[in-house]
Amino acid sequence: MDGVESLSSTAAVGDPDGMQRLWVPHRMVYVADDHQPDRSDCPFCAAPAKSDEDALIVARGAHAYVLLNLFPYNNGHMLVCPYRHVAGYDEATPEEAAEIAELTQRAMRVARRVMGCHGFNIGMNQGAIAGAGVAAHLHQHIVPRWASDANFFPIIAKTKAMPQLLGEVRELLATAWADPPDAGASR
């Protein structure tokens, strides 16, 4: 049955169907296959060659590193990326996957300690079809959350209120990362 057949006999084109929709055509640049970077122009391949301050890198490991998202959903939004240019989590080596997990845990502890966040959204969008902005290079999102961080601004005003500049957040997190190990940390 197609959409037309499922409408009641009294429904007309343009009548509400009970589904709420948020139209975001500007997001197409993140999911279109022809906009995916290769190794030569991948921002996650280029970042480690820059200074930590210029690349917004918080910490470096042997197989992966942590940096701030240039377009954060929330203050302190970090990404954990392997140095190697791979697209899928299932393509990561056991060493890369283990370090991504360790860096994610450490990032959570550091953010909780210095930013006082109440929770996190953590995840990977695998492939352009899943919404990955840079589908060609594996990266895990760590988004700090606070009880009152959601409001009407992003939807109504197309504005996200960010209380700190990226450079300030990077410095705060990087300094805390270098402090003595956190409670419960294994490193």
* Short-list 184, 170, 145, CA closest to 66: 170
Cα 38 to Cα 19: distance, rounded to the nearest angstrom: 38
Catalytic residues: 139
Q: Helices (DSSP H) in 2-143: which residue ranges?
A: 3-6, 28-31, 43-46, 52-55, 94-115
Task: Copy the structure tokens of residue 111.
Answer: 């953010």
In the numeric block, the tokens 């480690």 are attached to: 48
What phi and psi values does residue 46 have, to the nearest 5 degrees? -75, -30
What phi and psi values does residue 18 have, to the nearest 5 degrees? 90, -10
Cα 181 to Cα 64: distance, rounded to the nearest angstrom: 19
CB count within 10 Å of CB 31 equals: 17
Identity of the amino acid at 159? T
